[in-house]
């Protein structure tokens, strides 16, 4: 079942992909720091959202 939160997150990710080059070029913190930040956010997403979801699905099996 798709929730409104999932749709919003998907739209935000699409917008980031569309404007990624502009965001990186205009960023005051620098490309390397921005890439490090985005990598950290991606890893946090795995630990906060994906692993608990997999745990719940594993219990169902």
pLDDT at residue number 15: 92
What is the per-residue pLDDT across 2-40, written as a single tens digit (0 to 9) for each?
789 888 988 998 998 898 888 878 888 888 888 898 899
Whether the predicted pLDDT of 1 surpasses 80: no
Q: How far is C-alpha 3 from the geometric centre of its chain's CA atoms? A: 16
Q: Which structural domain, as residue segments, surrounds residue 16?
A: 4-60
List CB contacts of 37: < 8 A, sequence separation 6 or more.
Answer: 29
How many structural domains compose the chain?
1
Record the pTM.
0.49
Whether the predicted pLDDT of 45 surpasses 90: no
The H-or-E segment that residue 21 falls in is helix 20-26
């Amino acid at each position: 079942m798709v929730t409104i939160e999932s749709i919003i997150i998907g739209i935000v990710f699409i917008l980031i992909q569309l404007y990624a080059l502009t965001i990186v070029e205009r960023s005051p913190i620098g490309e390397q720091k921005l890439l490090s930040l985005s990598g950290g956010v991606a890893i946090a997403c795995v630990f906060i959202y994906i692993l608990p979801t997999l745990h719940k699905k594993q219990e169902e099996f």
